């Protein structure tokens, strides 16, 4: 099992460009989520999905879109990148069922810089 795989690992964009961050998991996890990590602020939830075809907003959803067409993939889209979106982005997944017995598993992140 590869676990949670994120691509690319690094990316530099210009303001206004669009981009999709990819996330795939091979554990057949129904729950998937996206976080951003900024200095001194811990991880903050952007969007999450409890299964294919279902997505919901987290704490900081503005400027990001998601879709969930398959169980395996949960891409995060930046439609018009802004410098405030410079961050490290993490994707995570877990099994469905009792959330108190299913810690999330994280990928190794995408480091995104917006110039």
Partner 1 sequence: GESVGLHLPTLSVQEGDNSIINCAYSNSASDYFIWYKQESGKGPQFIIDIRSNMDKRQGQRVTVLLNKTVKHLSLQIAATQPGDSAVYFCAENPPADKLIFGTGTRLQVFP
The residues of the shown chain that bind partner 1, judged by CB under 8 A, are 4, 31, 33, 35, 37-45, 48, 50, 56, 58-59, 88, 90, 92, 99-100, 103-109
CB-hemisphere CA count at 13 Å for 36?
20
Whichever of 56 and 79 has its CB closer to partner 1, that residue is: 56
Whichever of 26 and 79 has its CB closer to partner 1, that residue is: 26
Are 20 and 77 in contact by the 8 Å Cβ rule? The answer is: yes
Separation CA 105–CA 115 (nearest Å)? 30
The nearest distance, CB 101 to partner 1, in angstroms, is: 8
Whichever of 79 and 114 has its CB closer to partner 1, that residue is: 114
Whichever of 16 and 97 has its CB closer to partner 1, that residue is: 97
Going by C-alpha positions, the residue among 66, 63, 35 that lies closest to residue 52 is 66
Are 105 and 93 in contact by the 8 Å Cβ rule? The answer is: yes
Separation CA 56–CA 33 (nearest Å)? 10
The nearest distance, CB 23 to partner 1, in angstroms, is: 11
The nearest distance, CB 70 to partner 1, in angstroms, is: 19
């Amino acid at each position: 099992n590869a676990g949670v795989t994120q691509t690319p690992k690094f990316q530099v964009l210009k303001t206004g460009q669009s981009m999709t961050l990819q996330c795939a998991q091979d554990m057949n996890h129904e729950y998937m989520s996206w976080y951003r990590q900024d200095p001194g602020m811990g991880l903050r939830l952007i969007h999450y999905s409890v299964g294919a075809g279902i997505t919901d907003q987290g704490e900081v959803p503005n400027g990001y879109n998601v879709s969930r067409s398959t169980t395996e993939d949960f891409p995060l889209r930046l439609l018009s990148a802004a410098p405030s979106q410079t961050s490290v982005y993490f994707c995570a997944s877990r099994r469905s069922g009792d959330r108190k017995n299913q810690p999330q598993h994280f990928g190794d992140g995408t480091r995104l810089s917006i110039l």
